[in-house]
Chain A
Amino acid sequence: MRPTDTSDPHYYHRVVDCQWGCPAHTNVPEYIRLIALGRYTDAYMLNRKSNVFPGILGRTCDRPCEPACRRTRLDGEPVAICRLKRVAADLRDDDIRPLLPAIPEKKNGKRILLIGAGPASLTVANDLMPLGYEITIYEKLEKPGGLMWNNIPQFRLPPRVLNEEIDYILDMGVDLRTGHEVDSMAAVLEEGWDAVFIGTGAPRGKELDLPGRWDDPDHVHIGIDWLQSIAFEHIDSIAPRVLVIGAGNTAMDCCRSAKRLGGTDVKVMARKPRPLFKASPWELEDAEGEQIDILENHSPTRFLSENGKLTGMEFEIVRWHEQEGGRLKKEVLDTVVLPCDEVILAIGQDAAFPWIERDIGIEFNDWEMPVVDKSTFATSLPGVFVGGDAAWGPENIIWAVEHGHQAAISLHRYCQGEPVEDRPPYGQNLVSVKMGLHEWSYSNDFDGAQRAEMNYADLRERLKSMEVEAELGFDIERALQETERCLNCDIQTDFTGPLCIECDACIDICPVTCLTITPDGPEDEVRLRLTVPQIHPDQPLFASEPLPHTGRLMMKDEDLCIHCGLCAERCPTAAWDMAKSDLLVPYAGLEAGQIHPTRSGAPLEVSA
């Protein structure tokens, strides 16, 4: 078997499941430790480095880190990573501006246009302003933020939090032109920008063109447009009986908003069974907690109205059968009519580019989407880049941020005349955390606590208006309890083969039976000889070089390691050590691990 190369930054990165799961590679365990130490501002700044909007994301992130979290594989519940992020944002110092990057007075002479002021564009601005670029944003609406302000309701994301984090970026000197809709890309190109980034999102809500759809159009709404009208304060009420069609994130925001604007009988109607819903489990729970019914396996067939007034909708009650190739086929069991006063359609959204001429060198595919390179975010027209929901359709904020980081690298390289395909390499710092014979600089004992529950604002208060924030956040006690659930997956078991005397101490002590010493052989064969068979073969498997006494290999199935450090404590020769791996991520104009000088000149202390 080939020995594992742990100097490749991606090996240990994969072991840090949450960081690997996070599109922007947020250093989760480190910020959790900083919170445990009460260093909230440092935790916030560490977050900001990778995800730019910790306060916003601490409330709204799609949290791909949480299903990835190793803790889930041990006790069924991930660490409340996202809620701890909010703790850092809630409890940090009020003024973090001195810690933000210094912006050069003297500009570098390159002017870049960003179209749309959503999280993707804002991230590009955040990364490029410290390098001396002049950045202009054209935004069609009156305010920046994209869907974060015009769709995500205030009860999930208070404007105070949103605006503050957007202002950190705009105040770097970004030239934001609101109310400026781009209706011709050709015209934009005429303006002579050094490079252009398209971050216009996926603004077109899908239509449901069933019989009766246009009989009472005033009472049938497109979800994202309806939410936008609430944000614009054009809509402030809804009739009592509301059906929301769809079971994604938008549907959840629609039904919860409806409940606050006068809806008393609000139902979410889903075609598929619950496990296939696009909405995250916590969103479903939040909606149900607000007395909203969620009905699965209801496939809409027509809108019903009397005298031009919407009276209800008809649904087929269906059962789904899995076909060959995983496709689902429906079987109709029955039909029902559900009376209602208003319907909100939340069945998806698309990007749309009617404003990009098809003959200016930007190649489009069969689905009318621009062809965008997966790693450089470049279009076929040199100097034009796309990111966020505009690139490949709706995703989420954290993906928009990561797109922004990558696009910023490309924009910078493009403007400096460097090939955009050459991506800057990642790096890794690996530092022993040994403090004494059996003392480590992290809390290594396993805490069996269950996941901390969120506190919510009183239901009656909450449903009175759009403004009352539903989640109250963790208090310090709950936060501390939750930090202890983190397994510190970045504190790696680092092996030095030549020191091993094959005493088996590590094998015997490991509480989760991760380790094996076994003769060398072909990989599939060696895998079968692990002390406990791998249950997640996609998880990294470490193999040492042949050991000095017998030539056998030390193997480690990283899957369930709780990073307790006992193997290293019981190792007589320190062949195992516990070492903190820090993934060094490159950003525009910054090599992996480099940081910008801060505005105040004060150093950033972002390690626990």
Chain B
Amino acid sequence: MSYITKPRVHHPALPTNSLGLTRRDYEGSMSTLCAGCGHDSITAAIIEAAWELELEPHMVAKLSGIGCSSKTPTYFLGKAHGFNSVHGRMPAIATGASAANRGLTYLGVSGDGDSLSIGIGQLCHAIRRNVNMLYVLENNGVYGLTKGQFSASADLGSTAKKGEVNRSEPIDPVLLALTLGCGFVARSFSGDKAQLIPLIKAGLAHDGFALIDVISPCVAFNDHQGSTKSYKYTRDHLEEAVAADFILPMAEITTSYEAGQGRTVEMHDGTRVRFRKVPEGYDPTDRDHAYAYLRDRAHVAEVPTGLLYIDTEDRAMHSVLGTVQTPLVDVGWDELCPGEDALAGIMERWR
């Protein structure tokens, strides 16, 4: 929380994208989160990714639930659409919005509390329905907004700020998403923008539900010794297992992308993801393998990060349901609601 807002003045050499916008045009209002919160860094990464992807702000919908993390959509893309749902209910709102207007880019932001406690059912079904959205789970191991109670992602044996020990097994959103058949599963760290920004870009480009679990330290309630989600612990235990670059369709295939023996997968919109680094024998398109690998690393308290699994054949909600290509908001009223006679005709079919 600061008294002054971030002045509008910017660096004169700040580059613009093809829309003529600078990064600063993708900002929202001033963050009211605690100074040093990992969530603010993720906000900055989203701003950067949206600017690089040259998204038109008014073609984006930001959705969230309740929590410090869920407050953050206010702090980016001030000109986008937004919806702050009740606690844990953002996936339902996103599903409805996406059903009505498939033309927007959907970006959900949630926390480990919002997603893994009260909203876990919602999350599971959004994955299962394969809503076309990027779901950023800002994971700090606590309920930040309500002052630091353990969340469902807190590790067994980790301690709270005042010393209590957590005695419940954690829910790992990455393993959960893999189990539920999510087509894009990644993990990152708020303090590593070099990794996070391309993941956000790829997640937004992915056709279907994309989950990024971002370890995001809570400086106020979970950055002490004994925490397994602190800046220090995360830096000591995070292992960039899979390193991937996101490549726009038009981008020149430069040597830096194509060098080495890395493998490239193509996304539905022509963008590509290039795996620069994967563990020996790791196949990021093999769900079972990814699952086994992650379980294995968890035993040695290592937290692998990167684009851990991707399914390029994924079929998002609209293609599964066979809906029209035109966003429903743009379908004319008469077509959308053909009237009593048409309804009577349909009813007739079931008599």
Q: How far is the CA of A21 from the CA of B299 in the complex (A)?
A: 62
Q: How far is the CA of A501 from the CA of B225 in the complex (A)?
A: 14
| Chain B, interface residues (CB within 8 Å), range | 20 to 34
Given that A438-B3, A564-B4, A572-B219 are known contacts, is A549 also in contact with B231, CB under 8 Å in the complex? Answer: yes
Taking the complex as formed, is A439 at the interface, i.e. its CB lies under 8 A from any CB of chain B?
A: yes
| A572 near B4: Cβ-Cβ < 8 Å | no
| B235 near A505: Cβ-Cβ < 8 Å | no
| A573 near B36: Cβ-Cβ < 8 Å | yes
Residues of the B chain whose Cβ atoms lie less than 8 Å from the Cβ of A448: 7-9
**Smallest CB–CB gap between A239 and chain B, Å?**
50
Give per-residue flags for A441-464: 1 if the beta carbon is below 8 A from chain B beta carbons, else 0: 000111010000000000000000
Residues of the B chain whose Cβ atoms lie less than 8 Å from the Cβ of A572: 34-36, 219
| B231 near A501: Cβ-Cβ < 8 Å | yes
**Smallest CB–CB gap between A488 and chain B, Å?**
13
Interface centre among B15, B35, B38 (most CB of A within 10 A): B35
Given that A503-B219, A566-B4 are known contacts, is A512 also in contact with B10, CB under 8 Å in the complex? Answer: yes
Q: How far is the CA of A444 from the CA of B5 in the complex (A)?
A: 11
Taking the complex as formed, is B1 at the interface, i.e. its CB lies under 8 A from any CB of chain A?
A: yes
Name B75's closest neighbour in chain A (CB-CB). Answer: A508
Residues of the B chain whose Cβ atoms lie less than 8 Å from the Cβ of A570: 2, 35-36, 40
Taking the complex as formed, is B37 at the interface, i.e. its CB lies under 8 A from any CB of chain A?
A: yes
| B35 near A504: Cβ-Cβ < 8 Å | no
Q: How far is the CA of A503 from the CA of B40 in the complex (A)?
A: 9
| A503 near B2: Cβ-Cβ < 8 Å | no
Given that A501-B232, A532-B14, A535-B12 are known contacts, is A564 also in contact with B191, CB under 8 Å in the complex? Answer: no
Q: How far is the CA of A507 from the CA of B35 in the complex (A)?
A: 12
| A505 near B9: Cβ-Cβ < 8 Å | no
Residues of the A chain whose Cβ atoms lie less than 8 Å from the Cβ of B9: 74-75, 446, 448, 511-512, 562
Q: How far is the CA of A503 from the CA of B36 in the complex (A)?
A: 6
| A511 near B10: Cβ-Cβ < 8 Å | yes
Name B22's closest neighbour in chain A (CB-CB). Answer: A513
Complex interface residues of chain A between 503 and 527 (CB less than 8 A to chain B): 503-505, 507-509, 511-514
Contact partner, B191, options A504, A512, A514, Cβ 8 Å = A504
Give per-residue flags for B24-48: 1 if the beta carbon is below 8 A from chain A beta carbons, else 0: 1000000000111110110110000
| B193 near A504: Cβ-Cβ < 8 Å | yes
Contact partner, B36, options A446, A501, A549, A566, Cβ 8 Å = A501
Q: How far is the CA of A564 from the CA of B2 in the complex (A)?
A: 11
Name A549's closest neighbour in chain B (CB-CB). Answer: B235
Taking the complex as formed, is A293 at the interface, i.e. its CB lies under 8 A from any CB of chain B?
A: no
Given that A501-B231, A505-B35, A512-B11 are known contacts, is A438 also in contact with B1, CB under 8 Å in the complex? Answer: yes
Taking the complex as formed, is B217 at the interface, i.e. its CB lies under 8 A from any CB of chain A?
A: yes
**Smallest CB–CB gap between B229 and chain A, Å?**
13
Taking the complex as formed, is B349 at the interface, i.e. its CB lies under 8 A from any CB of chain A?
A: no
Taking the complex as formed, is A265 at the interface, i.e. its CB lies under 8 A from any CB of chain B?
A: no
| B7 near A445: Cβ-Cβ < 8 Å | yes
Taking the complex as formed, is B351 at the interface, i.e. its CB lies under 8 A from any CB of chain A?
A: no
Residues of the B chain whose Cβ atoms lie less than 8 Å from the Cβ of A73: 12
Given that A513-B14, A535-B13 are known contacts, is A446 also in contact with B2, CB under 8 Å in the complex? Answer: no
Contact partner, B12, options A505, A560, A564, A566, Cβ 8 Å = A560
Residues of the B chain whose Cβ atoms lie less than 8 Å from the Cβ of A445: 4, 7
Complex interface residues of chain A between 123 and 166 (CB less than 8 A to chain B): none
Describe B's contact surface by its main secondary structure: loop
Residues of the A chain whose Cβ atoms lie less than 8 Å from the Cβ of B162: none
| A569 near B232: Cβ-Cβ < 8 Å | no
Taking the complex as formed, is B6 at the interface, i.e. its CB lies under 8 A from any CB of chain A?
A: yes
Taking the complex as formed, is A502 at the interface, i.e. its CB lies under 8 A from any CB of chain B?
A: yes
Residues of the B chain whose Cβ atoms lie less than 8 Å from the Cβ of A573: 36
How many residues from A make CB contacts under 8 Å with B? 35
Q: How far is the CA of A535 from the CA of B37 in the complex (A)?
A: 31
Residues of the B chain whose Cβ atoms lie less than 8 Å from the Cβ of A569: 2, 35
Residues of the A chain whose Cβ atoms lie less than 8 Å from the Cβ of B231: 501-503, 549
Q: How far is the CA of A560 from the CA of B37 in the complex (A)?
A: 26
**Smallest CB–CB gap between B6 and chain A, Å?**
5
Given that A438-B1, A438-B2, A448-B8 are known contacts, is A571 also in contact with B13, CB under 8 Å in the complex? Answer: no
Taking the complex as formed, is A550 at the interface, i.e. its CB lies under 8 A from any CB of chain B?
A: yes
Taking the complex as formed, is A273 at the interface, i.e. its CB lies under 8 A from any CB of chain B?
A: no
Name B236's closest neighbour in chain A (CB-CB). Answer: A549
Residues of the A chain whose Cβ atoms lie less than 8 Å from the Cβ of B41: 503-505, 508
Q: How far is the CA of A505 from the CA of B2 in the complex (A)?
A: 13
**Smallest CB–CB gap between B179 and chain A, Å?**
32
Residues of the B chain whose Cβ atoms lie less than 8 Å from the Cβ of A513: 10-11, 14
Complex interface residues of chain A between 392 and 449 (CB less than 8 A to chain B): 438-439, 444-446, 448
Interface centre among A73, A505, A564 (most CB of B within 10 A): A505
| B4 near A505: Cβ-Cβ < 8 Å | no
Contact partner, A550, options B37, B217, B235, Cβ 8 Å = B235
**Smallest CB–CB gap between B73 and chain A, Å?**
16
Complex interface residues of chain A between 337 and 388 (CB less than 8 A to chain B): none
Given that A503-B36, A572-B34 are known contacts, is A532 also in contact with B6, CB under 8 Å in the complex? Answer: no
Give per-residue flags for B309-346: 1 if the beta carbon is below 8 A from chain A beta carbons, else 0: 00000000000000000000000000000000000000
| A511 near B6: Cβ-Cβ < 8 Å | yes
Residues of the B chain whose Cβ atoms lie less than 8 Å from the Cβ of A549: 231-232, 235
Q: How far is the CA of A533 from the CA of B231 in the complex (A)?
A: 28
Q: How far is the CA of A508 from the CA of B36 in the complex (A)?
A: 10
Q: How far is the CA of A564 from the CA of B9 in the complex (A)?
A: 11
**Smallest CB–CB gap between B159 and chain A, Å?**
19
**Smallest CB–CB gap between B4 and chain A, Å?**
4
Residues of the A chain whose Cβ atoms lie less than 8 Å from the Cβ of B37: 503, 505
Residues of the B chain whose Cβ atoms lie less than 8 Å from the Cβ of A446: 7, 9
Given A569-B35, A570-B35, 9 extra CB contacts under 8 A: A445-B7, A448-B8, A504-B44, A504-B190, A504-B193, A508-B40, A512-B9, A562-B9, A571-B35
Please give the residue numbers on chain B whose beta carbons come within 8 Å of chain A beta carbons, in ascending order.
1-4, 6-15, 24, 34-38, 40-41, 43-44, 190-191, 193, 217, 219, 223, 231-232, 235
A sample of 18 cross-chain residue pairs with beta-carbon separation below 8 angstroms, ordered by A number, consists of A75-B9, A439-B3, A448-B8, A503-B219, A504-B40, A504-B191, A505-B36, A505-B37, A511-B9, A511-B10, A512-B9, A532-B14, A532-B15, A535-B13, A549-B232, A562-B9, A569-B2, A572-B34
> Top 6 A-B pairs ranked by shortest CB distance?
A572-B36, A446-B7, A508-B44, A503-B36, A445-B4, A504-B41
